[in-house]
Amino acid sequence: MTLTLLLDLDDTLLNTHIESFIPAYFQALAKELTPYVAPDIMLRALMSGTKRMMESDDFSQTLEQVFNAEFYPQINSHYEKTAAAIDNFYDNIFPTLGGVTSRKPEAKPFVDWAFSQGFRIAIATDPLFPRKATHHRLRWAGFEPEQFELVSSFEQFHFSKTHPAYYAEVLGRMGWNDGPVLMVGNDLDRDIRPAQMLGLATYHVDDESASPSGPVAGSHGKLADLRLRLESTDFASFIPSFKSIDSILGILSATPAVLNGLLRGLDSSAWTHEPTQNDWALSELICHLRDTEREVHQMQIELFKEKNEPFIPRPDTNVWAHGDYQHEDGATALIEFNEARRKTLELIKEVTPEPSAWERKARHAIFGPTNFKEVVSFIAEHDRLHIQQVWSTLKNL
């Protein structure tokens, strides 16, 4: 049973000393951009852009796009004008800030051991930094970015770590494996609680040693203690549960974000490639998701608006057919799926003005007695299944 480890970076694998590092970082960037904008204006814009990224729940916009839309109007400039200076900053000046940080001596031995066990490892760092900055911080910690299956940054990700959808996006970008997952981090508000809200097991890294024989999931201790505890733990205890309202909504929000990230920039041959004669091409998969969203999922949710205890009919099998999809443009279908999913989430809000509405009863033609939460959870399960297919197809291109 392969374990997926999601590892925080700052103050988990690297002593970032965030109280010292962030001011040094901001001041250095302000100095580099002085020819284009006064430092006080730049700092205000930088803080405003960062705040907007942390608040954003728009799955159609990367955090980079969210930041740029907030930052550049405030400095009365545009990206192209400052691009060379910003590239120079992250290539040549940002690396000098490594002296503000320090390595955690226990980090590399733990990660090396985890790799030796065949664990899948992602660096689940808050994607508020550009890729170059995150890669530098990984090197300061003693690692190479290429070692890891995934490293989150603001060019690719759509949510900050305060959102459970961030963790769903990480797992989706890794193919939504059905196996055990453990999130390891030092920040309760950004690493632990949101991951738990999605349904993940967590390990809170702090300065207190905990019993080496206790359960790992939901526990705390030093990073150096984690190897010993994992060696004596049944990984079945780390199998996620995606049945809570928070986890369902997190997956529904993350799915278009995952697909937008995975499928960005594909050429036409990749969209239409069929791994085998019986497999769907990527364009067909996205068309199927779009039409299922419109014709099945939204219809089911609308029934709860119309009746107290609705009957949920068996889906029309025509929705599962895909003969005509071969002639559709996959990129256009993905935009249409984004729009359909946005409408679905709005409908869910209309049906659930209060938490108790999630327990509204219904009868399903296939599953029998059910309720609104279970019906919506079927959508999340459907999402995960098809992201697995998309990921597998991309791996075999």
Tell me, yes or no, whether 59 and 78 share the same domain.
yes
Q: What is the CATH number of the domain that holds 382?
A: 1.20.120.450
Q: What is the pLDDT of residue 324?
A: 77
User: pLDDT tens digits, residue range 103-121?
Assistant: 999 999 999 999 999 999 9
Per 3-state DSSP, the chain is made up of helix, strand and coil in percentages (nearest 5) of 60, 10, 30
* pLDDT for position 323: 59
pLDDT for residue 213: 47
- 107 and 186 both lie in a single domain: yes
Closest CA to 134 of 9, 309, 277: 9
CB 129 within 8 A of CB 14: no
Query: Distance between CA atoms of 356 and 338, rounded to whole angstroms?
Result: 28
Q: Report yes or no on 251 lying in a domain.
A: no
Q: How far is CA 191 from the centre of its chain?
A: 12
Domain ends where: 100, 129, 153?
A: 100
157 and 93 part of one domain: no
C-alpha angle with apex 32: 26 to 37, nearest 5 degrees?
90
3-state SS string for 10-72: ECCCEECCHHHHHHHHHHHHHHHCCCCCCHHHHHHHHHHHHHHHHHCCCCCCCHHHHHHHHHH
Number of Cα atoms under 13 Å in the Cβ half of residue 220:
11
Same domain, residue pair 125 and 69? no
Q: Are residues 234 and 153 located together in one domain of the fold?
A: yes
Count CB neighbours of 299 within 10 A.
Answer: 13
Range of the domain at 234: 4-13+103-238
Amino acid (one-letter) located at 284: E
Give the model's pLDDT for residue 165. Answer: 98
Interhelix angle 282-292/372-395, rounded to 10 degrees, is: 170
Model pLDDT, residue 127 = 97
Rounded to 5°, angle at Cα 203 from 262 and 226: 110
Residue 339 lies in a domain: yes
Distances (CA, A) of 102 to 13, 14, 113, 330: 10, 6, 21, 46
By the 8 A CB rule, do 180 and 4 touch?
Answer: yes
- What is the block-wise mean pLDDT of the chain (397 residues), using blocks of 10 residues? 95 93 92 92 94 97 97 89 92 95 96 98 97 97 97 98 98 96 95 96 80 59 92 94 96 98 93 86 94 95 92 77 77 97 98 95 94 97 97 92
**What's the rounded Cα separation, in Å, for the pair 85 and 105?**
34
Which pLDDT belongs to residue 327? 83
Task: Give the model's pLDDT for residue 57.
Answer: 96
In 3D space, the residue among 394, 381, 395 whose CA is nearest the CA of residue 178 turns out to be: 381
Instruction: State which amino acid sits at residue 327.
Output: H
Closest by CA position to 169, among listed 50, 332, 57: 57
Task: Assess whether 311 and 224 both reside in one domain.
Answer: no
Q: Would you state the pLDDT for residue 249?
A: 98
Residues 68 and 109 in one domain: no
Whether residue 233 sits in one domain with residue 108: yes
Q: Which helix (H) or strand (E) holds 120?
A: strand 120-123
Q: Does residue 246 belong to any structural domain of this protein?
A: no
Of the residues 100, 131, 158, the one at which a domain ends: 100
Question: What 8-state DSSP symbol labels residue 2?
Answer: P
- Beta strands in 190-304, from DSSP E residues, in sequence order: 201-205, 219-221
Model pLDDT, residue 325: 85
Q: Structural domain tally of the chain?
A: 3
Q: Which of 100, 135, 157 represents a domain boundary (last residue)?
A: 100
Same domain, 81 and 116: no
> CB 131: neighbour CB atoms within 10 A?
17
Same domain, 300 and 366: yes
> Residue 196 belongs to a domain with what CATH number?
3.40.50.1000
Rounded Cα–Cα distance for residues 125 and 104 (Å): 16
Statement to judge: residues 234 and 272 lie in one domain: no
Q: Quick one: 54 and 67 in the same domain?
A: yes
Contacts of 385 (CB under 8 A, 6+ apart): none
Quick one: DSSP state of residue 91? Answer: I
